[in-house]
Amino acid sequence: MVCPGSYDPVTFGHLDIIERTAAVFEKVIVAVVNQPVRKQKTLFSAEERCGFIEAEVTELGNVQVKTFDTLIVHFARENGAHAIVKGLRAISDFEYEFEMNQLNRQMAPDIESIYMMSSPRFSFLSSSGVKELATFDGDLTGLVPEGVSGPLHKALKR
């Protein structure tokens, strides 16, 4: 099972989906896209983003973190995964993910897409919103792990 995203930066919403997915599936690969297509350049390198996630999932024995720079269905196949799990927060997420699901099914009908609803307390949370808060020195408590907050504020002051 693959849980893909840009994770720039990882939020408690992402981690909630990863933890809940790990409770359902035997093996979870958190797939960190090296360079997202639909978003501008990432603030953190793929290695930094992987490091942030790895620091938070150490107690989950069935989760590993890898980067990818190919189609997610190709990455899933290369890693023996038969499913892709994505989190959904709002209607806008659904519209985008519905389109991606149709394209993925066209290319790889053997790989299932599974959607997990965001926990209510994280339904508003996005990496872009967190970056905007951090840009103006906002408090990120409860939004991102402590190990992400400092580097995020520092990166945005560059």
Q: Find the CATH number of the domain harbouring 56.
A: 3.40.50.620
Residue 40 has pLDDT above 80, yes or no: no
Q: Which domain holds residue 54?
A: 2-123
82 in any annotated domain? yes
144 in any annotated domain? no
27 in any annotated domain? yes
Structural domain count of the chain: 1
> How far is the CA of 103 from the CAs of 37, 72, 100, 124, in angstroms?
15, 11, 5, 27
**pTM, rounded to two decimals:** 0.93
pLDDT value of position 86: 97
16 in any annotated domain? yes
134 in any annotated domain? no
Mean pLDDT of the chain: 94
Beta carbons of 88 and 13 less than 8 angstroms apart: no
pLDDT (tens digit, 9 = 90+) per residue, 133-143?
Answer: 999 999 999 99
